[in-house]
Amino acid sequence: MSLQAASASTHWEKVAESIEFVPAEYSHKTQPDTAAREMLRCDQTELDRLVDAGLPFEDRAGVRHFDVNDLYNLGMYSGKGNTQPELAFRMLFRFATKSMDDLLRDKTWDFRVRMDCVDCRGEAPWRLEAPDVERFGGRVVVHQVIEPSAASSGEYSATVTTTGARTPLVAPRLRSLVRDYLDAGYRWQMVPIAMQADQELVHKLGATSCIAASLLLAQQFRAAGYAAEAKRGWFCGVLGGALDLPHACVEVTDDDGSVKTVDIAKAQLAARLSSDTGDFQDLCQGSTYNKVIPSTASGNASFGYHDCGSPVPVQVRADIRSTR
Amino acid sequence: MTDQLRAVREFILERNSTMDTVSDDLDLIDSRAINSLAFVEFIFLLEELTGDSIDPEDLDLDDFRTLKAIEARFFTQEAVR
């Protein structure tokens, strides 16, 4: 089938109907027509059809602009096979179909974080929610910390070693809550981080995401009498940092006294991408694996702060590379 | 220029209608000739051209920064091990 024929046969209206667009209060329409067509590998007529089907946009100087999350989700669920989001996730989750032993061994990362205070009001301490891997058998050797300064940017660097362990949940109640969540049929979507903190809204829409799922599950674990907290971290190996994929999971103290991590949204995403990811999905339900660097940040918090009084959140960019 | 590098150059030009040429030393990342999402397509192209799988975990952006770097990393005899 030619590309043109394939494009014409894409049922964009059905795709648009199947996803939840980002509500206006959380939407940032920054992607112009040209970027949308490139992401979705579609032509102008198809983009017009998507707009007619409800894809929100803003017209600025005669050019339509779209929210990148909406475009991501349309691409992911298009079924075309050649949209940029489909290609990105296919490549990103290749590891989930391989041997899990590789995810359980020690792995070392060059870890760098740059923080920018874009509306800096002056000298003040920086605070970074740093890698917090020791609790799960990892190690951190810090090379550079961020000193208090008037500079509007700062850098932190470290060598971080992560490791994995098969520690599935043992408490029947916790396992049952995880199963109930998976069976609820929430659909994984890219969701703006600010919206993910509003987990009730995300789930009400029938959607899920790493942070929203972790916040809800942590709440349910606590309601069942378990110490649990949603925590953020970094998902490593994301195309040299080219793809910003927020990571969060639930840390819960199980009946055996151990702290387990539950990364339920990643399990759902893996299941959507490929049916032969069962081992990885199991690993997400209590075990730890070496592609995640946990941090000290709670589930819906920022990774970094500059206490200068600026109301604008600090921008945090991580560059995490596997050591060669 | 090898056919492989020619294909890489064509890929970049196709996605940047305002560019006429791509010099060997142009920083493809900083100049945004390859943006973050096109980067994924680009990796698939390199896999197709080399016949080898690229592990996204092992990516070093510096290997993709210029045509010269891409040639050295992916298309030289030393690279094809």
**Complex-level ipTM:** 0.78
Q: Answer whether residue B15 is part of any domain.
A: yes
By the 8 A CB rule, do A280 and A100 touch? yes
Tell me how many residue pairs between chain A and chain B have CB atoms under 8 A apart: 55
Is the CB of residue A111 less than 8 Å from the CB of residue A157?
A: yes
- For the domain made up of A99-323, give the CATH fold: C8orf32 fold (3.10.620)
Closest C-alpha among A19, A7, A10, A12 to residue A53: A12
In the DSSP assignment, the letter for residue A156 is E
For chain B, give the longest Cα–Cα distance: 37
Q: What is the C-alpha R_g of chain A?
A: 20
- The reply to whether B51 touches chain A by the CB within 8 Å rule is no
pLDDT confidence of residue A123: 84
The pLDDT tens digits along chain A (324 residues) read: 444 444 556 799 999 999 999 999 999 999 999 999 999 999 999 999 999 999 999 999 999 999 999 999 999 999 999 999 999 888 888 888 888 999 999 999 999 998 999 888 888 888 999 999 999 999 999 998 877 665 788 889 999 999 999 999 999 999 999 999 999 989 999 999 889 999 999 999 999 999 999 999 999 999 999 999 999 999 987 766 556 667 899 999 999 999 999 999 888 888 888 778 999 999 999 999 999 999 999 988 889 999 888 999 898 888 888 886
- Is B18 contained in some domain? yes
Q: For residue A29, count other CB atoms closer than 10 A to its CB.
A: 18
Chain A residues within an 8 Å CB radius of B15: 38
Closest-CA distance, B28 to chain A, in angstroms, reads: 13
- Cβ neighbors of A259 (< 8 A, separation 6 or more) are A135, A251, A252, A253
Considering only the beta carbons, identify the residue of B15, B38, B40 that sits closest to A91: B40
Of B43, B61, B64, the CB nearest to A91: B43
Reply yes or no on whether the pLDDT at B32 is more than 80.
yes
The domain in which residue B47 lies consists of 3-75
CB under 8 Å to A270, separation ≥6 — which residues?
Answer: A93, A96, A277, A280, A281, A284
Q: Is residue B62 scored above 90 in pLDDT?
A: no
CA distance A50 to A251: 40
Residues in chain B with CB shorter than 8 Å from the CB of A241 are 61
The residues, ordered by sequence, that sit 6+ positions from B42 with a Cβ below 8 Å of its Cβ are B8, B11, B34, B64
Nearest to B40 among A84, A237, A291 (CB): A84
Cross-chain Cβ contact A242/B58 below 8 Å: no
Query: Which of B17, B34, B57 has the most A C-beta neighbours within 10 Å, making it the best mutation to test the interface with A?
Result: B57
Contact call for A322 and B58, based on CB within 8 A: yes
- Judged by CB atoms closer than 8 Å, whether chains meet at B57 and A242 is answered as no
Inside any domain, residue B81? no
Kindly report the CATH number assigned to the domain that includes residue B14. Answer: 1.10.1200.10
Strand ranges for chain B from DSSP E: none
Structure confidence at residue A323 (pLDDT): 85
Contact A322 B43 (CB under 8 A): no
Taking CA atoms, what residue in B is nearest to A39? B37
Q: How many domains does chain B have?
A: 1
Evaluate if residue B36 carries a pLDDT over 50.
Answer: yes
Contact at 8 Å (CB) between A268 and A182? yes
What DSSP string runs through A204-264?
Answer: HTTEE-HHHHHHHHHHHHHHTT--EEEEEEEE--SGGGTS--EEEEEEEE-TTS-EEEE-H
pTM of the model: 0.86
Please indicate, yes or no, if residue B80 is contained in any of the structural domains: no
Strand runs labelled E in chain A: 29-32, 58-60, 63-67, 107-116, 126-128, 139-144, 153-162, 187-188, 207-208, 228-235, 246-253, 259-262, 285-286, 292-298, 304-306, 315-322
Closest residue in A to B36 (Cα–Cα)? A242
pLDDT of residue B31: 86
Token digits of residue A277: 């990811």
